[in-house]
Every structure is written in structure tokens, then in C-alpha cells.
Amino acid sequence: MDERGVTFRWKDYRAEGRTRHKTMSLSSAEFMRRFLLHVLPGGFHRIRHYGLLANARRKCNLATARTLLHQPAPAVAHSSEAPTGTGHPQPTFRCRHCGAPMLILETLARVPPHPRATGFGSRS
């Protein structure tokens, strides 16, 4: 940024090789105008997932894609039908946002402290 305006680098995804990264100089007012086009008004949320996997039509779109590709639907494993080998029922946790069951994929064991650790900041 200087008295003439703002110079910045940008990536041209249509170009290949050394010409992919380019620089552009704009007046301060034009730079701010273009920058603020990306700022959403208060109360709005940016939607990043759209198209085939958009949440509103995901199931329908994926079913249509599987039909067109002649692929079977994936088998759904229910946690209540597949008990663990220990004989204990697997706990069912529910997502607090959508209510769907959450599956435990891995349990990480706690690492014991080093035997010489004496506490924070103490030196013996």
C-alpha cells in the first residue's frame, strides 16, 4: 500500500506455470469496494457447501447419481444391531444439533505423566 493505491498478489486458476500468480494494483477506494463484496451483512452465514452435496437435496442427488452410475446404495450399519465383542452394549451418544447417533471410532488412552515430572515451574 502506498499513495497510489494497493498492490496485491492473486492466483489465476485458469493459467498454468509461471503466469499463475499475478499482481494487481488498484486505487484504495476500488480495493475496498472489491474487498467489501466478500463481507456478509450482520445476521448472514456463509454457505460453503452447495451443488450436488447441498444439504437440502443431498439424499435425492446422491440416489440419482448412484442410479446413473449403476452403483448400489451403501449398507447402513446400526449400532444397536452390532454389539461389541466384550458383551457390553455400546453407548449411544446423540448429536446435540441434529439428534443423530454418534459412533465411537477410537478411544485414546491417557498418557501417564513422566516419572520425573514434579509439577509446573518447580525445579529440584
What are the tens digits of pLDDT across the range 95-119? 888 888 887 788 888 877 767 665 5
pTM for the full predicted model: 0.36
Residue 22 resides in a domain: yes
- By residue range, what is the domain housing residue 60? 6-41+48-68
User: Do the domain assignments include residue 21?
Assistant: yes
Chain segment 18-77, per-residue pLDDT in tens: 899 999 999 999 999 998 888 888 888 777 666 777 777 888 888 898 899 888 887 776
What is the number of other CB atoms lying within 10 angstroms of the CB of residue 107?
A: 5
Spatial distance between the Cα atoms of 47 and 54, rounded to a whole number of angstroms? 10
Residue at 17 is within a domain: yes
Task: Examine residue 99 and state whether it is found in any structural domain, yes or no.
Answer: no
Residue 75 grid cell: 449398507
Overall number of domains in the chain:
1
In a domain, 88, yes or no: no
Q: What residues are paired with 22 via a beta bridge?
A: 10
